[in-house]
Amino acid sequence: MQAIVPFANFLNLDGSINRITKARLDLAISLFMEGMTMIIPGADFQKLGITLSQAMKDYAISKGIPEKSIIIEELSLDTLCQVFRTRLICEKKGIKKLIWVTDQNHMPKVKFYVNFIFGSLEGMEVKEVNIKAEPKKDFMKDFNKTFDGNEKSILEIATKLSEKHEYYKGIPIKKLISI
């Protein structure tokens, strides 16, 4: 089983997807094939009353992606948790091959987190859209505040998120790992 995962960026203030999110999602839609699953992660971190994943799902459906082929994940507030919770979905659904869709500025972060969370890039493809985007901040500084890099299991990663990560500190581990 194969899935495609377009990363969210932001929503516009009216709740519509912004140009970077749209570019990433348009590429994912163009790569989507019958029998695939589209996993769309993203919470309402902007407090607009709609999650990134729901806005992206609505857009994908409007472009012809069957609703039954879409899984949304609405807890993740950042790339790290998007990858982590995608792993949970993949394990639950038996998905072995993934295509991650992002842009060139986001690519190094995505590859690093996918390799860390999944343990390797085996069975993974990373596709990028060529769009002018803001340079990403030094994600390794934030990563090193949370992890020592030796965490491998779902429980070890969830524990560190719950104990140390600025967005997830205090969230029960059971909530972080439930899909």
User: Which distant-in-sequence residues (6+ apart) come within 8 Å of 133 by Cβ?
Assistant: 9, 20, 103, 104, 105, 106
Percentage of the chain lying above the pLDDT 70 cut: 98
Domain parsing of the chain, residue ranges:
2-134
pLDDT digits (tens, 9 = 90+) for 86-134: 999 999 999 999 999 999 888 899 999 999 999 988 889 889 888 876 6
Label residue 131 exposed, middle or buried (CB < 10 Å: 0-12, 13-18, 19+): middle
Would you give the DSSP letter of residue 39?
E
pLDDT value at residue 136: 65
Query: Confidence class of residue 174 from pLDDT cuts 50, 70 and 90?
Result: very high
Average pLDDT over residues 17-39: 95
Structure tokens at 7: 């990363």
Q: Distance between alpha carbon 158 and the CA centroid of its chain, in Å?
A: 16
CATH assignment, 2-134: 3.40.50.620
Tokens of 53: 């994943």
d(C-alpha 166, C-alpha 179), whole Å = 21
Find out whether 126 and 107 touch, Cβ atoms under 8 Å.
Answer: yes
Chain mean pLDDT for the chain: 92
pTM above 0.85, yes or no: yes
Res. 167: pLDDT tops 90: yes
Residue 67 pLDDT exceeds 70: yes
